[in-house]
Amino acid sequence: MPRQRTREVADGNAMTGFSQSPPQLDDQYASDRVLRAFLERHVPTELLTQAASDLESLGRLAAGPLYRQQLEERGLEPTLTQWDAWGRRVDRIKLTPLWQEAHRIAASHGLVATGYEGTFQPYGRLIQFALAYLFHPSTDVFSCPLAMTDGAARALLDSGNQELIARAVGHLTSRDPARFWTSGQWMTETTGGSDVGASETVARRDGEGRWRLTGRKWFTSAATSDMALTLARPEGNPMGGGGLALFYVEPRDAEGALRNIEILRLKDKLGTRKLPTAELLLRDTPATPVTDLQGGVKAIAPMLNITRTWNAVCAVSTMRRALALARDYANRRIVFNRPLAEQPLHLMTLARQQAEFEGAFALTFDVVRLLGLGENGQLGDADQALLRLLTPVAKLTTGKQVVALTSELIESFGGAGYVEDTGLPMLLRDAQVLPIWEGTTNVLSLDVLRVLSRHRAALDELLARAEKQARDASAEVLAPGVKALERGVEGVRRFMEAFSDWDNEACEASARGLAMTLGRLASLGLLLDAGQHAIDHGGDPRPARAAVRYARNGVLLLEQPDPIAEHSLATDIYV
């Protein structure tokens, strides 16, 4: 079939010669074996049936109208108008049409609401993030404001501030597009996005006792949001994260004018070009403290853990999109007299990436599953610690995977992957933000060390679970994966024994290797579990093959630091 279609196109262009038919998407929910199998296993049938219309509708929208609109709007970007014709400062941002449409679809399909409504609990997070996974790759990163909106709802609810909960959470979790608010997360300042404790924004009370913030927010994504959570240091507080306080801001008044905020410029970024990320100047901007007037980093942490989960889900869904396009193209594209889909080296390349995707999916949706259980009081202490550990692990593991995978799959289109109007380069550019924002790979690796030092039960639980997964994966075909998992567990145990004798510098230097190993180990255990389950229930061999292929891609990335050599190589100093 694909061969015929290609010939028709070629015949139809007799004057200009051959032209290649482009990759196409089919229904993105109906055709997603991995997502569907996961939901069918983990969500009770009656709840999944209830969620089906939203999932099916988004699967069709993502493959059809939204994807078409995304390609058509490729050249559009949001614009900032700072002054009106008569010299008044207005700071208006005009969004692209797809972004305006995405706001409506996100609300009506409950992309935030589903996580909070009682209907699906404790499976609401699974349904919600399945929707986000379908929505993200066709909506030009509108997932960013949704992630922050979700994180803000979580942080406000956790804060216990009843006044702010009553004011905002109903909007953040609304299904009515007219009522639905998005939230910003204004953390990054000119001092950087990692060392948030160095923030310079100051909070002062005015003559009427109202809190006002003054400072410069250097990277505020989706500057069009209806509210924001931000950090500022109340005058007189000590330096560092503990001296910051968490504040709630409504940037605009009832007429839509900014309240003592100037939008200095929109960021000129490598990717996420439809996302109006802005630099803001706050000059006595009215704000309300969310919690105590200190401990701001700790108070905003629930938001970070939610946005990091979104980050991982977006990484996995981008991987799935790149694979869907590459797979379709491999059937259409004939070179050296046969479709790419019949060429062994091409198949090997796709298979390797499919296994990486399935591993990333398993890890990320396990975090989502645990999150839903935890929020509904259904996790014991050990699993709660495991969730705290796996959240940064999933974010940092999938962030690296998505960049490698999109790079590889763009290459699988040859030169077409490098040409802008195919829409393919955008995949790689938008993927590259995922290991950066919401905590870089290194900052999150250090967060993993923070968890390991405070919640030893997390690692014990992860390793015990992996050992059980190895024991339970009894099918012969899984044996190479089981062996790799056992070797991985043994390697981590040995590493941790040595690790406990190292000084802080050595522990920090080895943090990334350890965190990535934990991510790959957890993924492999979950893949083996899915592989055995599929064999036991209907016999689909593909999940088992993904597990074995994933194991062959490698699990152990542990590194023993060699401080003198690393210092010398990194600085190029002869020592």
Query: By C-beta, is 434 or 547 nearer to ligand MFK?
Result: 434
Residue 443 vs 509, nearer CB to ligand MFK: 443
**Residue 412 has which token pair?**
């699988």
3-state secondary structure 289-356: ECCCCCCHHHHHHHHHHHHHHHHHHHHHHHHHHHHHHHHHHHHHCEECCEEHHHCHHHHHHHHHHHHH
Query: Residue 406 Cβ, how far from ligand MFK at the closest point, in Å?
Result: 15
Q: How far is the CB of 387 from ligand MFK (least distance, A)?
A: 10
Comparing CB distances to ligand MFK, the nearer of 188 and 397 is 188
Closest CB to ligand MFK among 169 and 436? 436
**In terms of CB distance, is 215 or 241 closer to ligand MFK?**
241
- Shortest CB 399 distance to ligand MFK, Å: 10
Smallest gap from Cβ 235 to ligand MFK, in A, equals 19
Q: Which is nearer to ligand MFK, 219 or 329 (CB)?
A: 219
User: 77-80: long-range contacts (C-beta < 8 A, 24 or more apart)?
Assistant: 77/273, 77/274, 78/266, 78/274, 78/275, 78/276, 79/266, 80/263, 80/265, 80/266, 80/276, 80/278
- What contacts 236, CB < 8 A, 6 or more positions away? none
Q: Which is nearer to ligand MFK, 64 or 197 (CB)?
A: 197
CB 194 to ligand MFK: min, Å: 5
The binding site for ligand MFK (CB under 6 A) comprises 143-144, 147-148, 185, 187-188, 193-194, 196-197, 219, 221, 240-241, 297-298, 301, 304-305, 307, 310-311, 314, 437-439, 443, 447, 450
> Could you tell me if 405 and 319 are in contact, meaning their C-beta atoms sit under 8 angstroms apart?
yes
Residue 265's DSSP bridge partners are 279
Q: Are 238 and 244 in contact (CB under 8 A)?
A: no
Instruction: Please say which residue, 204 or 450, places its beta carbon nearer to ligand MFK.
Output: 450
- How far apart, in Å, do the first and last CA atoms of the chain sit? 64
- Residues 452 and 496: their CA atoms lie apart, in Å, by 10
**What is the DSSP track for 239-277?**
SSGGG-EEEEE--B-TTS-BSSEEEEEE---SS-TTS--
Query: Are 20 and 332 a contacting pair, CB within 8 Å?
Result: yes
Output the smallest distance, CB 214 to ligand MFK, in A.
Answer: 19
Give the nearest distance from C-beta 485 to ligand MFK in angstroms: 27
- In the DSSP assignment, the letter for residue 208 is T
Number of residue whose CB is nearest ligand MFK: 241
Q: How far is the CB of 220 from ligand MFK (least distance, A)?
A: 7
Q: How far is the CB of 313 from ligand MFK (least distance, A)?
A: 8
CA distance 435 to 439: 7
Q: Is 127 buried (19+), middle (13-18) or exposed (0-12) by CB count in 10 A?
A: buried
- Spatial neighbors of 363 by CB under 8 A, at least 6 apart, are 312, 390, 393, 394, 397, 398, 519, 522, 523, 526
Rank residues 145 and 289 by Cβ distance to ligand MFK and give the closer one.
145
